Amino acid sequence: MKKRPLLILILLLGTLSFNAQNAIIAINDPNDLQSRYGPQRLVEEVLVSGECSGVSNFSFQVSGAPGNTNTKSYGYFNRRGVAGFPFEEGIILSTGNASGGGNTVITPPAGSAYPSFENGLGGDADLEAALGSNKSLDATFIKFNFVPRTNDISFNFIMASEEYDGNTECIFADGFAFLLREVGTFAYDNLAVLPDGTPVSVRSINDAAGCTANTEFFEGYNLGATNFGGRTRVLTARSTVIPNRPYEIKLVVADQGDSSWDSAIFIEAGSFNLGVNLGEDKTINTGTAVCGESVILNTSAPEAAHTWYFNGVQIPGANTHILTVTQSGTYSVDVDFGGSCFTNEEIVIEFYDPVTIVNTENLSTCSAASNTAIFDLTQNDNEVLGAENPMDFEITYHISQDDAENDINAIPDPTAYAGENGQVIYVRLESAFSGCFDTGFFNLEVNVFGFSLLDNYTICADPDGTEVVSLPLLETGLNNANYSFQWYFNGVLIVGEINSSHFATQAGIYNVVVTDLASGCTIDINDPNAETTVNESSRPILTADQVSLAFVEKNAILATATSTRILTNGNAAYEFSLDGGPWLSNSPNDGTYTFENVGVGAHTITARDINGCGETSITLTVIDYPTHFTPNGDGFNDTWNVVGIENQSDAKIHIFNRYGKLIKEINPTEIGWDGTFNNTLLPSDDYWFKIEYIEPNDNSKKEFMTHFTLKR
C-alpha cells in the first residue's frame, strides 16, 4: 500500500552571501550542451540518477524547441559558482521564458516585474484538480513513466516566483504539482505538499503581511542569484512506492488567473534516484557526522545481489541490502538486479567522538517532616564529566527520560531543586562541538526525621508591661541519645542550647539544626519544618463606652482592647464577646469592636487575646428607661426608674400624668416609682417623665422628656 507523500525541509547549513549585481545563475546558457536538450533527454541525463531507472513513455507540454535557448519554457540551469543558490545544476520548468530568470541581472521598472512572459500555452486540468483551483494558463509539464528499484523515491526542489513581492501572493497563486500514480490507476498523489498536506504555492509559503504562511519554509524576498522576487527554501518531495512496479509522474507548473509575472520550479540534478541511494555523506566538516557507535546503511533492494566495500576493499560476507557501519571511512556497494540492471553507490561515513556519562551518584539529604527537600543536582556534574573539560559540554537535568533524550523541559535551577524521596532524575551530557549526547539517571533520597515545629508560638506578657507570664516550649519530640541539636535565634547560634526542646524567651525567628548521630545526616537550617516564628502578646486592657446617645432606640457599645507593653515582633489581636455571646472581631483585627442594638441595663463585655494570653471583662450599663411597668406586687416590674445613671445622684426625674400634673419626683439612685399617688393606686394609663442628667458621651447637661405606660 502506498503511503501519503510527505514534504520535508532540507536544512541548509550556514547563510550564503553574494553580490546581486554581478552574481546570477545560468539558465539555458548556449555554452552548456544540456541547454539544448529536449524534455526527455533532460530527464534521462540530468534529473534521474541510477543505472536502472527505466524511464519511458514521455509526453510533455512545453513552449519552444530544444534549441530555442532564449525562449523555451523549460531547460537546464547551472549555478556557475553563485554562492547564494543551493543547487549546483538541474532542470527548470517555468510559466514563461525560462532564461529570463537568470543569465543577466535585470531590475524591473517600478510596479512591474521581471521575468514576465506569456508562452501561449493552455492550462492543465490535472494541476487544477490537485490544487482545487481554476483558470490555469501557460502550463509547462513533463510526464513520464519509471520503474523504481527501491521502496522510496524523492527529489529536491525550489519554487521561485515574481508573485513574491509581499502583496501579490495574497491575491494570485501560480501553482505547480508533482503528480504521482501507479500505472493503470487514475488518482494522482501530489508530492509537492507541506507536512500537513497543504499544496506548496506562493500563498501557502510566504512572509507577506496580509497572508503570512509557513515562513519556516520561505527563504526570502529579493535574494539575488535569480531575477525572481523570492523563493522557498530547499524542499524535498518524497513518496513510498512498491519496487519494480511502473509509475507515472507529471511535473507541472502554470500561471493562475492571468499570464502576468512568471513562476518557476528548480529541480536538483540527480536528486530523482530510481536505483540505489545511500543518502548524503555524513562528515565532520559538514556537521552531519554520526553520533553513536554505529549506523545502518540500507539499499532498500533486498531482492538484489550485493557486494559491499570499505575504503575500496571488499568486506567479507557482506552480501545483503543492509550493512552496519562502525568505522569512519568510504563505503560503497555493487547492486545487481539481474539482467542488464547493475548499479553502484558510494557514501562517506564519519563518526564523532562518543559522548559517555562516566558515572552518577544518588543524592541524599534530610528533612524534618516532609518527603520533599532541596537538592543541588549539580553535585553530580563532576561524576558525569569525569576527566572531560566542562567547557566542551553542556549538562542538563530532567524529570523524565523522554525529556532528557529530546533535550526539552530542563530543570531551570538544578542547584535548588525541590525533589521527593525516591524520585529519579535524568541527566543529559551533550557535546558543544558535535551535539552528540548521552543520558543517565540517579535517585534522590530524603531521610525524614519525623518532626515539625509549629508555625507559630506565643510569649504571653502581662498587659501592664511588668513581666512575662509564660514562655513557649519549642519541642522537636526527638531524643538527645540519637540526635544532636543546635538552636538559632534570628539566624544566630544560641550558645549552649543543645537539647531537643528550647524555651523561647524573645519574640523572633527560631531554627533548629538536627543531626542524626548514626548516619551523620543533618537537617539544613533552611528546612521550613525546622523553623518557627515566636510572637509576643498579652492579656488585654479593656475599655468599653456607650457610643450612642442616651434614650435612643438602638444603643451601641464600643469595646477597645490594648496593651501597655511594647510587643517585640508582636501580633496582639483581640476578640470580643457581649454577655457571654459569640467571639467577634473586625477584619482586619484592629483591637476594637462595636456592639449594635444593645438593650438597656447592665452588660458584661469580655475581650480575649487570640494567641491565648488571657481575657479581661468589664460591666457597662446602658442608659435608658422601661417603656412600661406592672406594679401588681408579683415581684416583676413593680417599680419604674431610669437605668444606667445610678451614679448621677444629682439627676432629677419628675413624673406627670397625661394632664401635666406632677405625680412623683424620684432619684435614679433610689428604687423608683411604685405607681401610687398619696398612697393611692393610680390606674393603668400613659404617664410622662422629664429627666435632667449629664450625657456620658460629652459630659454636657441635658434634659429629656417622653412617656411610658403603667399596666395593672
The separation between CA 111 and the C-alpha centre of its own chain, rounded to angstroms, equals 45
| Residue position matching grid coordinates 509576643 | 536
Residue 24 amino acid letter: I
d(CA 628, CA 376) in angstroms, rounded, equals 81
CA max distance for the chain? 151
pLDDT average, residue stretch 2-7: 32
pLDDT average, residue stretch 307-317: 94
d(CA 514, CA 484) in angstroms, rounded, equals 6
CA-to-CA separations, 48 to 67, 128, 258, 521, in angstroms, rounded: 21, 26, 33, 71
Q: Which SS3 state, helix, strand or coil, does residue 472 take?
A: coil
Give per-residue pLDDT as tens, 195-233.
888 888 888 899 998 899 999 999 999 888 999 989 999
Distance between start and end Cα atoms, the chain? 111
**Sequence-distant (≥ 6) Cβ neighbours of residue 402 within 8 angstroms:** none
Cell of 122: 493552455
**Sequence-distant (≥ 6) Cβ neighbours of residue 620 within 8 angstroms:** 544, 545, 546, 557, 602, 603, 605
- From the options 3.40.1360, 2.60.40, 1.10.20, 1.10.3470, give the CATH code of 628-710: 2.60.40
Higher-scoring residue by pLDDT: 452, 468? 452
d(CA 201, CA 203) in angstroms, rounded, equals 5
CB 595 within 8 A of CB 578: yes
Percent of the chain with pLDDT over 70: 92
- What string of DSSP letters covers 506-542? SSEEEEEEEEETTT--B--TT-GGGEEEEEEEEPPEE
Give per-residue pLDDT as tens, 649-693.
888 999 999 999 999 999 888 899 999 999 999 999 999 999 988
pLDDT average, residue stretch 603-627: 86
Judge whether residue 256 has pLDDT over 60.
yes
Judge whether residue 14 has pLDDT over 60.
no
Torsion of CA 70, 74, 77, 83, to 10 degrees: 100
Cell of 639: 417599680
Judge whether residue 596 has pLDDT over 70.
yes
Q: Which pLDDT does position 60 carry in this prediction?
A: 93
| Residue position matching grid coordinates 506562493 | 202
pLDDT average, residue stretch 77-104: 91
Q: Which pLDDT does position 429 carry in this prediction?
A: 97
Residue 5: strand pairing partners: none
pLDDT average, residue stretch 355-363: 95
CA-to-CA separations, 436 to 35, 338, 372, 579, in angstroms, rounded: 44, 41, 33, 79
Residue 398: strand pairing partners: 426
Give per-residue pLDDT as tens, 136-178.
888 899 999 998 877 888 889 999 998 888 888 888 777 788 9
Q: Which pLDDT does position 18 carry in this prediction?
A: 35
Judge whether residue 568 has pLDDT over 70.
no
Higher-scoring residue by pLDDT: 635, 570? 635
pLDDT average, residue stretch 560-571: 68
pLDDT average, residue stretch 33-52: 86
CB 323 within 8 A of CB 308: yes
- In the CATH scheme, what architecture does the domain 363-448 have? Sandwich (2.60)
Q: How confident is the model at residue 514 (pLDDT cuts 50, 70, 90)?
A: very high
**Order of strands, edge to edge, in the sheet holding 555-562?**
541-546, 555-562, 592-598
CB 343 within 8 A of CB 335: yes
d(CA 526, CA 447) in angstroms, rounded, equals 16
Judge whether residue 6 has pLDDT over 50.
no
CA-to-CA separations, 554 to 292, 681, 690, 704, in angstroms, rounded: 89, 33, 20, 17
Per-position b or e across 425-451, b if 16+ CB within 10 A of its CB: bbbbbbbeebebbbbbbbebbbebbeb
Torsion of CA 50, 52, 53, 57, to 10 degrees: 160
Q: Which region, left, alpha or beta, applies to residue 384 given φ > 0 means left and ψ of -120 to 50 means alpha?
A: alpha
Q: Which of 557, 673, 671 is closest to 607 using CA atoms?
A: 557
Residue 214 amino acid letter: N
d(CA 497, CA 486) in angstroms, rounded, equals 6
CB 229 within 8 A of CB 113: yes
CB 236 within 8 A of CB 280: no
| Residue position matching grid coordinates 460591666 | 619
Burial class (CB in 10 A: 0-12, 13-18, 19+), 207: middle
Percent of the chain with pLDDT over 90: 49
Q: Which pLDDT does position 512 carry in this prediction?
A: 95
Prior bond of 588 cis (ω within 30°): yes
Burial class (CB in 10 A: 0-12, 13-18, 19+), 102: buried
- Positive or negative torsion for Cα 64, 70, 74, 76: positive
Q: Which pLDDT does position 20 carry in this prediction?
A: 37
Q: Which pLDDT does position 289 carry in this prediction?
A: 93
Judge whether residue 323 has pLDDT over 60.
yes
Question: 117-121, 146-150, 242-246, 600-604: which has the minimum mean pLDDT?
Answer: 117-121
Judge whether residue 255 has pLDDT over 90.
no
CATH class of 539-622: mainly beta
Cβ count within 10 A of residue 350: 17
In CATH terms, the superfamily for domain 456-536 is Immunoglobulins (2.60.40.10)
Q: Which pLDDT does position 613 carry in this prediction?
A: 85
Burial class (CB in 10 A: 0-12, 13-18, 19+), 673: buried
d(CA 704, CA 623) in angstroms, rounded, equals 12
Query: What is the pTM for the complete model shown?
Result: 0.53
Q: Which pLDDT does position 53 carry in this prediction?
A: 62
Specify the domain boundaries for CATH 2.60.40.10 within the chain: 456-536, 539-622
Strand (E) or helix (H) holding 348? strand 341-349
d(CA 170, CA 172) in angstroms, rounded, equals 6
Judge whether residue 21 has pLDDT over 80.
no
- Positive or negative torsion for Cα 522, 524, 529, 535: positive
Strand (E) or helix (H) holding 402? helix 401-406
Beta strand 437-448 with 363-367: parallel, antiparallel or unpaired? parallel
Residue 283 amino acid letter: T
Judge whether residue 8 has pLDDT over 80.
no
The vertex-330 CA angle with 328 and 334, nearest 5°, equals 135
Judge whether residue 548 has pLDDT over 80.
no
Q: Which pLDDT does position 128 carry in this prediction?
A: 86
Per this entry, what is the length of the chain? 712
CB 104 within 8 A of CB 224: no
d(CA 703, CA 708) in angstroms, rounded, equals 16
The mean predicted confidence, pLDDT, of the chain is 87
Q: Which SS3 state, helix, strand or coil, does residue 69 take?
A: coil
Half-sphere exposure of 207 (CA within 13 A, CB side): 13
